[in-house]
Amino acid sequence: MTNPSEQHRDLLADQSCVTSVPVPAAPEDIRDVQQTTCCIVGGGPGGAVLALLLARGGVPVIVLEAHKDFDRDFRGDTIHPSVMEILDEIGLAKPLHQLRHAKVYGPTIQAADGPFSPIDLRRLKTRFPYIMLIPQARFLGFITEEAKKYPQFRLVMRANVQRLIEEAGVVRGARYLGPDGWHEIRALLTVGADGRFSFIRHLAGFEPIKTSPPMDVLWFRLPRLPEDPEASGGALGGLGRGRIFIALDRYEYWQAGYVFPKGHYRELRAQGLEALRRSIIEIEPRFARHVEHLTDWHQLSLLSVESNRCPRWYKPGLLLIGDAAHVMSPVGGVGINYAIQDAVVAANVLAGPLKAGQVTLAHLAEVQRQREWPTRIIQAVQSFAQKRIVASVLRSQETLRIPCWVRIFFRTPILRDLPARLIAFGVRRVRVEG
């Protein structure tokens, strides 16, 4: 096994990146104590795929999910080519495609000087030259049902983790509050995969480095109508007067996003729904009849856009993956992609040590070593796009034109596929080992 890099050796010695968090005393009434090899907190895409891969490899694993089910609106619904290649390696791509889904090959953006299609995934060399749109609840149900075929896997819903069990500076598991009281899971390794507001990250005392993307997003659904425009790439959008409108073709409806400057939500609410409808129509007139169905603010869900990254993803007995370790901006829609790639690398590195009962800091550091630079690179690309493109659009009060140099860039064969490749596969492809 590769030893930790110098950077990670420094992190092991430098406690400045870890804040001590007071942990309440253990509850007296523990209904039961269970033992497993790996306890995963969070049943999102990263946690679910990691559990499936470990169970396939013969590692006992328990997933603790706080909610009663996976069904929540406007969670990330995009499955990128890299994830489909990973699923194909374990024989699950074909059955996943049997579920109802939509395909996005690239957006068509309406600008003042005509339509613009910056990305076309169909030019990439892959069996899956598209982004699959499938409700995350359906995807998670699919993954966990596959995992249940292995006796080493167990999923506990409505398991609200409140405490980490620490002994002599080593995390030994977690305590959770269920409908019937407190339970304790003892594990060789605990994995925090509980998303962008990770409570495990907080309990462990990790402080992420935060950036401030310039926008927030309202997500909502619009009905499909008989006269609907053809979305040749599976997505439509437009720019205008400090706003961005996005519409993803979900066959049964349009999943729409309205991007506006960060911190302006109260102002937007004060202007009223009629002003919002007029703004959308100005950007994309073909949706004039659709927005008539927006009659209540409860139909819209606000995503406060954040981006951050923990300097350190692990401590003895604990590892963070996915949004718990690095919250992604929605630019490029790569959050699920990177969480699942984290899960694959974690399974590749840790399955053997977990089966052997010997997980060291060097093993945990190796997971971060393999995944940190791809994460930092994509976050740097997202930051560039946010500051140079998105912020410029949101500052402008004019109907925007696409600059000539941008159109030339995306027509140049050697350059045009670089953004598509980065969105589809990340910095590098990840493969399932063993």
pLDDT digits (tens, 9 = 90+) for 271-328: 999 999 999 999 999 999 999 999 999 999 998 888 999 999 999 999 999 999 999 9
Residue 116 maps to a domain: no
> So what's the pLDDT on residue 3?
43
CA distances from 412 to 108, 379, 406, 418, 422 (A): 18, 25, 10, 11, 17
Please list, residue by residue across 155-194, b when 16 or more beta carbons sit within 10 angstroms of its beta carbon and e when fewer do.
Answer: bbbebebebbbbeeeebbbbbbbeeeebbbbbbbbbbbbb
Whether residue 101 is predicted with pLDDT greater than 80 in this model: the reply is: yes
Residue 250 domain boundaries? 215-261+263-303
Q: Is residue 194 located within the same domain as residue 221?
A: no
Query: Looking at the predicted structure, is the pLDDT value of residue 129 above 70?
Result: yes
Q: What is the dihedral of CA 309, 332, 65, 176, to 10 degrees?
A: 10
Q: Are residues 197 and 320 in the same domain?
A: yes
List 216's β-bridge partners, or say none.
Answer: 260
Range with the poorest average pLDDT among 12-26, 223-237, 292-306, 371-385: 12-26
pLDDT over 70 for what percent of the chain? 92
Residue 323 sits in the same domain as residue 219: no
Q: What is the pLDDT of residue 22?
A: 42
- Does residue 71 fall inside a structural domain? yes
Strands (DSSP E) contained in 117-159 are 131-133, 153-156
Of the three residues 278, 303, 328, the one that is the final residue of a domain is: 303
**Residue 397 placed within a domain:** yes
Q: Among the listed ranges 190-194, 225-229, 283-287, which one has the minimum average pLDDT value?
A: 225-229
pTM of the entire predicted model: 0.87
Domain boundary among 303, 334, 354: 303
Banded pLDDT at 16 (limits 50, 70, 90): very low
Residue written as tokens 């006269």?
Answer: 227
DSSP type of residue 18: B
Same domain for 56 and 196? yes
When pLDDT is averaged across residues 160-169 and rounded to a whole number, the result is 96
Domain-embedded: residue 431: no
- Inter-CA distances, 296 with 118, 142, 264, 268, 299, Å: 34, 33, 19, 13, 6
- Let me know if residue 88 belongs to a domain: yes
Q: What is the identity of the amino acid at 172?
A: R
The CATH number linked to 329 is 3.50.50.60
- Res 312: pLDDT: 97
Residue pLDDT, tens place only, 326-369: 999 888 889 999 999 999 999 999 999 999 999 999 999 999 99
> Is position 229 within any domain?
yes
193 and 81 within one domain: yes
At which residue do the structure tokens 């070593």 appear?
369
Ranking 15-24, 82-91, 303-312 by mean pLDDT, the lowest is 15-24
Domain shared by 140 and 198, yes or no: yes
Task: Give the count of beta carbons closer than 10 Å to the beta carbon of residue 408.
Answer: 11
Query: Do 368 and 341 fall into the same domain?
Result: yes
Distant-in-sequence contacts of 294-297, Cβ < 8 A, 24+ apart = 294/220, 294/222, 297/269, 297/273
For residue 112, being part of any structural domain is answered with: no
Residue 67 pLDDT more than 60? yes
Based on the fold, state whether residues 85 and 135 are members of the same structural domain.
Answer: yes
Buried b (16+ CB within 10 A) or exposed e, 231-253: bebbbbbbbbebbbbbbbbbeeb
Average pLDDT of every residue of the chain: 89
- Residue 250, domain member (yes or no): yes
Higher per-residue pLDDT: 246 or 10: 246
CB distance 161 to 2 below 8 Å: no
Banded model confidence at residue 52, pLDDT cuts 50, 70, 90: very high
Q: In what order do the strands lie in the sheet with 307-309?
A: 209-211, 307-309, 326-327
Measure Cα distances from 244 to 2, 65, 261 in Å: 45, 34, 10
Angle between helices 6-13 and 361-385 (to 10 degrees): 110
Q: What are phi and psi of 166, to 5 degrees?
A: -120, 135
Q: Are residues 137 and 60 in the same domain?
A: yes
Whether residues 336 and 376 fall in one domain: yes
Q: Can you tell me the mean pLDDT for 138-150?
A: 97
The domain total for the chain is 2
Structure confidence at residue 393 as a pLDDT band (50, 70, 90):
confident
Domain shared by 220 and 347, yes or no = no
Considering only CA atoms, which of 308, 273, 323, 315 is closest in space to residue 382?
308
Q: Is the pLDDT of residue 231 over 50?
A: yes
- Higher-pLDDT residue of 111, 264: 264
22 phi and psi angles, rounded to 5 deg? -65, 130
pLDDT band at 74 (very low <50, low <70, confident <90, very high): low
Q: Does residue 24 have a pLDDT over 80?
A: no
Least confidently predicted of 23-27, 169-173, 177-181, 370-374: 23-27
pLDDT at 371: 98
Q: Does residue 167 surpass a pLDDT of 70?
A: yes
Question: Residue 25 pLDDT more than 60?
Answer: no
CA angle 110, 114, 119 (to 5 degrees): 60
pLDDT at 200: 98
Residues 31 and 141 in one domain: yes
Mean pLDDT confidence for 5-9:
39
- Reported as a pLDDT band with limits 50, 70 and 90, residue 73 is low
Higher pLDDT, residue 370 or 72:
370
- Among candidate residues 281, 355, 329, 298, the one with its CA nearest the CA of residue 36: 355
Overall average pLDDT of the 226-234 stretch: 74
Question: Which pLDDT score, from 0 to 100, does residue 28 have?
Answer: 54
Helix (H, G, I), strand (E, B) or coil at 316: coil
